[in-house]
Homo-oligomer: A and B are copies of this chain.
Amino acid sequence: VLIDEGLELLDEDEAMRLLASSEVGRIGLTIAALPAIFPVNYRFVDGCIMFRTAPGSKLLAAANNTVVAFEVDDYHVEDRTGWSVLVVGPSELVRDVGVIDHVLDAELEPWVEGTRASVVRIRPGIVSGRRIVHGTPLVPGG
């Protein structure tokens, strides 16, 4: 087990598995030269993060043709455990109708009322994951 600043580093398979098993993540990007983080409900489809947003939304304008961060995590306050996965990669509006239909088939229904007709794809470039472990012997590394 490799550790990085006290956290167990997850291997990429485990990080991908956690990405595929979650539904809410957070996109980190820059809007008007300021950093921002927005939660989105998403699906992991064909190795990419896909989420829906409204045409003309601030998020779509900021997330089209740029490099973004995307984070998924699960923490438990009671026992102070948890994990997080961080993806960094290019983000773009999906224009291929076949891909959009495929995403919609993945039951990526918008949680928010109103139209969310645009689909954004993040291609994972760098994937990393970390887990808090307690009482386990760890070997420094990473």
Residues on A lying within 8 angstroms of B by beta carbon are: 5-7, 23-24, 26, 28-30, 34-39, 41, 54, 57-59, 67-71, 73, 75, 77, 80-82, 84, 86, 88, 111-114, 116, 126, 132-134
Contact = CB atoms under 8 A, between A and B. Distances in A.
Instruction: Identify which of A35, A58, A132 gathers the most chain B CB atoms within 10 Å of its CB.
Output: A35
- Which applies to chain A's interface (DSSP): helix, strand, loop or mixed? strand
| Copies of this protein, total | 2
Name the residue among A5, A7, A77, A134 with the largest chain B CB count within 10 angstroms.
A5
A35 B28 contact: yes
Contacts of A67: 34-35
A75 B39 contact: yes
Contact of A77 (B23, B59, B114): B23
